[in-house]
Amino acid sequence: MKYNPRVSSSRRKNRKAHFTAPSSVRRVLMSAPLSTDLRSKYNVRSMPIRKDDEVQVVRGTYKGREGKVVQVYRRKWVIHVERITREKVNGSTVNVGINPSKVVITKLRLDKDRKSLLDRKAKGRAAADKDKGTKFTAEDIMQSDDMPFTLVENLTQAQLSCSPSSCQTRDNPHRRGNSILFMY
């Protein structure tokens, strides 16, 4: 579900944005999940894939094969992994393109920028985990002053005594239902 009204839900606009994306955007879109060991070590779920990362294929014909990333071919949205090749009709061997979402990264090639990215993502994830367990109580909801509606408990007896055929719901005033949740 989209929450930002400025972001389009149009299929054709999203496809156009995807296929005409510049290389900098493709880098992020061509991310791969980390293995469970790396995920627990760094507290990060996925990373943009790069040359010299070691990966394991988890889907498709080459499932179970491991190797080092030889090339990240952003123009074709694929990666090339060493030892995953096929022979052409003329006898030459070529690398087989694999979608980055179908592999897991088993060993990261770390440099200064990659370490800072891992730290930044882990910090954001830790902050999200800290807020995850908080829930709103009824008192919290009642204390907020900017509520444009009143709860059912505050309705008069006459408003609650309508029959199911004559009651209208808040979501759709034209649809008749058997419950009133909110009243403006």
Domain boundaries, the chain: 11-117, 140-184
The sign of the CA dihedral 9, 11, 14, 16 is negative
> Which is it for strands 78-87 and 93-98: parallel, antiparallel or unpaired?
antiparallel
Q: What is the DSSP letter of 153?
A: G
Closest CA to 69 of 35, 32, 37, 41: 32
Q: Please list the residues that pair with 85 across neighbouring strands.
A: 95
Rounded to whole angstroms, the Cα distance separating 43 from 128 reads 12
pLDDT digit string (tens) for 4-38?
999 999 999 999 999 999 999 999 999 999 999 99
pLDDT, the chain, mean: 85
> For the range 47-51, what are the long-range contacts, defined as Cβ-Cβ under 8 Å and sequence gap of 24 or more?
47/105, 47/108, 47/114, 47/117, 47/118, 47/121, 49/79, 49/100, 49/103, 49/105, 50/109, 50/114, 51/109
User: What percentage of the chain has pLDDT greater than the value 70?
Assistant: 74
What residues does 93 pair with on adjacent strands? 87
pLDDT tens digits, one per residue of 85-105: 999 999 999 999 999 999 999
Q: pTM for this one?
A: 0.69
CATH architecture of 11-117: Roll (2.30)
Tens digit of pLDDT for each residue in 128-170? 888 776 666 667 777 766 655 555 555 555 555 555 555 555 5
